[in-house]
A and B are shown apart, each in its own frame.
Chain A
Amino acid sequence: MSGRVLVGVKRVIDYAVKIRVKPDKSSVVTDGVKHSMNPFCEIAVEEAVKMKEKKLIKEVVAVSCGPQQAQETIRTALAMGADRGIHVEVTGKDYETLGPLQISKIMAALAKKEEAQLIILGKQAIDDDCNQTGQMTAALLDWPQGTFASEVSLEGDKIKVVREVDGGLETIKINIPAVITADLRLNTPRYATLPNIMKAKKKKIANMKPADLGVDITSRLEVLRVDEPPQRQAGVKVETVEDLVSKLKEAGLV
């Protein structure tokens, strides 16, 4: 297998930033807020670059869908070792309603266009926690999927994937082409160092719109309201076990 790998990278609000809901409760504030590459996407990029370094694949293409700033995220992927980037431009209201189904359609269209043999995605994005894009992409392409991968190895014309599941670890062997989604323990992503960022400026990022791929990105979902989680109420201190039991009875819990 010496082909091309597509890696999806998503620009999300940095995990350490405190989220604020917009006053009109339509969504969260994103203007000026620190964004970075989704941590699971970083792991996906690292895995693809590692495969290229081991000469198992020929080319790594980083893909991101979103407004102009998505290019920064692609540049980071390029600095980590991706060969070229594809920026699918989606802005404004379309971007606000962009979700896993539309992304999967875009990824599927790109996979066919680029004749990719492998798609590696993060298992989920830390802003919506959907955990759907990888699975939907595989279904649209009718490709096998190895999700929650904590270990990936090529064995001839098949891929062995060790998956992190609730009961422990599951090992599967799937045919190529396939979709893999990266879990936390798959690898430790390398830093995008300054010399590589400078080199990445020379790597190509192709621009296109979803329409160019024949993809309709109208959303089937409508967000009605976004609310902050309820304020944590202060607890009550009790002196004795009897007090505790009576308080629990009062609350109807025992």
Chain B
Amino acid sequence: MCPLCTTEHAAPQLYTTLHRRKCSSVSTPRITTHYTIHSRDKDSRWEGIEMERFADEADVVIVGGGPAGLSAAIRLKQLANEHEKELRVCLVEKASQIGAHTLSGACLEPTALSELFPDWKERGAPMNTPVTEDVFSILTEKHRIPVPILPGLPMRNHGNYIVRLGNFVHWLGEQAEELGVELYPGYAAAEVLFHEDGSVKGIATNDVGIAKDGSPKDVFERGMELHAKVTLFGEGCHGHLAKQLYKQFNLRENCEPQTYAIGLKEVWVIDEKKWRPGRVEHSVGWPLNRNTYGGSFLYHLNEGEPLVALGFVVGLDYTNPYLSPFREFQRWKHHPSVAPTLEGGSRIAYGARALNEGGIQSIPKLTFPGGLLIGCSPGFMNVPKIKGTHTAMKSGMLAAEAIFPKVTAEGLDSETTGLHVPEYAEALKNSWVWKELHSVRNIRPSFHNYFGLYGGMIYTGVFYWIFRGKEPWTLKHAGLDANQLKPAKECTPIEYPKPDGKISFDLLSSVALSGTNHEGDQPPHLTLKNDSVPVERNLAIYDGPEQRFCPAGVYEYVPLETGDGMRLQINAQNCVHCKTCDIKDPSQNINWVVPEGGGGPAYNGM
């Protein structure tokens, strides 16, 4: 038995120094133990374990309890009640309670909500803060240049509401339950199930009770299968099941790759004297350079306490591997136009999430036999407006309206056992969602020019404000975000200021505020396709950018116990489910899969 790689070699006489050198690369300590990388079929520890799953049938299964998923569920039940039909709608959500994984600015445009519930005010929707002031600025290191928000510009917020989206989603959940939707928070959809004919049959929830090393514990139990006539996937930005479905059904062959940004957010209780409820502030410029897309938001909520929601967005097509979105956010808060608002206040929440920036160019094929994609998962965000909730909700509603006649029809009118509902994509293309996304399609890609931010703003001013996005061309994106990083040796490290503990903070105390936690004894859900790539490639060429772009400190390069060399340490328990690593890993080696349901952040009205 070869002592280095502990396997039997077929021809021991070939056990030469060449082999010894190859095997010593196996001295990379084992990081990934998840069964999606190391199959349990060939694993002797799983012999004899009962792998049969309990299965149940529903009419429609929805993956994800966010604005899109809940709007779809609500619309389905509204239609069922209208037409006096029975419909079993089950929704699974990985967060322990509806709204606990929701994070957004947010300025909600109430268009879709008013369509879904014209009486939302009477129903007590938590829309307490109409926008009263709207401010846009370009920041330099010491100054603020105000930019007038003329009517017609996409970032104008007249008529919108500042909301705590987590609370809004929680309220949607209550409405859904009242209508008879079966909500199952705390159970993550871990696997897509297929019929014999290749159409989607439903999903299976996560297994529980697998130890960190991948072996079964005493409390091991298989997840459950939920079968449906059609399954809606509303996992939000960069969903892990959607990633599989793109490959399975080749849904991305005619669209551009999705591009993303990371949004970090904090909620502060501020000094009452500084509080201006209904005030919306956005900025671009400092601390980012003109070639790095991004900017800030600061919203004054009107919910009793003097609360502000503030945050920073950085486009994930940034090129400098030394950039840390978290530290850019922390240093932005020290700007002379921001710090005074926060002085004397205290931070009560922190979180982060990736968001879509691809717009209409990056929308994949939306339907496939047995299922369809809704919400930020395919990506309907209006990037210059930085709003995606209203379009996500509308996509859920349109999906419900397209599915309903098919799912309640007497005979199953479908070529495949899982229903194919292309009518949904048609309805979306004919709706205001498409019109809106089409008109802003060129704004984000217009930033890819020598003048960066300023070129983009000029483009927006001319082609959007004057010509309303009617120009006949469609600009392309720069390609996959993961391919945009330059090697570390071509870039300069950024000198970030130390956090002062009053306005800016260190990473770990921020992560603690997210309330994130996972069962410790489970395989890390940040799986690596190849355990040696991080040190050999990410660290060697890019100086380990994952240590900087992860907003939760999951990835750390630490010295090996033997002293020579580094290894990647994955602190999976810190993960806030933002998906940035899966997006930005230059080696595309990280595959985020869902951990045991109930784990992850415990956001409260984020």
Contact = CB atoms under 8 A, between A and B. Distances in A.
Interface of A: 14-18, 20, 23, 31-34, 36, 188-191, 193-195, 197-198
B335 to A, nearest CB: 26
Given A33-B602, A34-B604, 13 more contacts: A14-B96, A14-B515, A14-B517, A18-B515, A32-B99, A32-B167, A33-B604, A188-B218, A190-B219, A194-B205, A195-B54, A195-B224, A198-B56
Contacts of B184: 194, 197
23 contacts: A14-B96, A16-B515, A16-B516, A16-B517, A16-B602, A17-B515, A18-B512, A18-B515, A32-B167, A33-B602, A34-B97, A34-B100, A34-B602, A34-B604, A188-B217, A191-B209, A193-B221, A194-B187, A194-B224, A195-B56, A197-B184, A197-B187, A198-B56
Contacts of A191: 208-209, 219, 221
Contacts of A23: 269, 305
B170 interface: yes
Contacts of A198: 56
A148 to B, nearest CB: 23
Nearest to A192: B186
Nearest to A36: B96
A193 B188 CA distance: 11
B89 to A, nearest CB: 14
Interface in B84-116: 92, 96-97, 99-100
Given A23-B305, A194-B184, A195-B224, A14 B205 contact: no
A193 B224 contact: yes
A194 B269 CA distance: 38
B51 to A, nearest CB: 14
Contacts of A36: 96
Contacts of A188: 217-219
Contacts of B205: 194
Contacts of A197: 184, 187
Contacts of B540: none
B605 interface: yes
Nearest to A14: B602
A71 to B, nearest CB: 13
B78 to A, nearest CB: 23
A15 B602 CA distance: 11
A23 B167 CA distance: 20
Contacts of B295: none
Given A16-B602, A17-B602, A34-B96, A194 B223 contact: yes
Report the interface size class on chain B.
20 to 34
Contact of A18 (B187, B221, B513): B513
Interface of B: 54, 56, 92, 96-97, 99-100, 166-167, 170, 184, 187, 205, 208-209, 217-219, 221, 223-224, 269, 305, 348, 512-513, 515-517, 602, 604-605
A12 B96 CA distance: 14
B304 to A, nearest CB: 10
Contacts of A32: 99, 166-167, 170, 604-605
Nearest to A234: B501
Contacts of B224: 193-195
Q: Which of B96, B209, B221, B223 has the most CB of A within 10 A?
A: B221
A124 to B, nearest CB: 20
The 10 closest A-B pairs by CB, nearest first: A16-B517, A34-B602, A191-B208, A17-B515, A195-B54, A32-B604, A194-B224, A194-B187, A17-B602, A195-B224
A195 B167 CA distance: 28
B226 to A, nearest CB: 8
A190 B219 CA distance: 6
A15 B605 CA distance: 19
Nearest to A193: B221
A194 B100 CA distance: 19
A15 B99 CA distance: 18
B482 to A, nearest CB: 31
Q: Which of B184, B205, B219, B512 has the most CB of A within 10 A?
A: B219
Contacts of A18: 512-513, 515
Contacts of B170: 32
Contacts of A17: 515, 602
A193 B515 CA distance: 23
A20 B96 CA distance: 20
A170 B223 CA distance: 40
A222 B214 CA distance: 50
A194 B225 CA distance: 10
Contacts of B512: 18
A192 B577 CA distance: 23
A236 to B, nearest CB: 16
A31 B604 CA distance: 8
Nearest to A46: B219
Contacts of B517: 14-16
Contacts of B92: 194
A33 B170 CA distance: 12
A3 to B, nearest CB: 27
A32 B99 CA distance: 9
Contacts of B605: 32
A165 B269 CA distance: 44
Nearest to B509: A18
A226 B144 CA distance: 41
B576 to A, nearest CB: 12
Contacts of B221: 190-191, 193
Nearest to B305: A23
A90 B170 CA distance: 23
A199 B540 CA distance: 53
Contacts of A16: 515-517, 602
Nearest to A195: B54
Contacts of B604: 31-34
Nearest to B92: A194
Nearest to B348: A20
A31 B266 CA distance: 18
Contacts of A190: 219, 221
B589 to A, nearest CB: 29
A74 to B, nearest CB: 15
Q: Which of B221, B513, B602 has the most CB of A within 10 A?
A: B602
Nearest to A190: B219
A180 B377 CA distance: 50
A32 B165 CA distance: 12
Nearest to B205: A194
B227 to A, nearest CB: 13
Contacts of A189: 219
Contacts of A14: 96, 515, 517, 602
Q: Which of A14, A33, A194, A195 has the most CB of B within 10 A?
A: A194
A2 B305 CA distance: 55
A193 B184 CA distance: 11
A195 B90 CA distance: 13
A20 B515 CA distance: 12
Contacts of A31: 604
A192 to B, nearest CB: 8
A32 B166 CA distance: 9
Nearest to B170: A32
A28 to B, nearest CB: 12
A36 B99 CA distance: 15
Contacts of A194: 92, 184, 187, 205, 223-224
Q: Which of B54, B92, B305, B605 has the most CB of A within 10 A?
A: B54
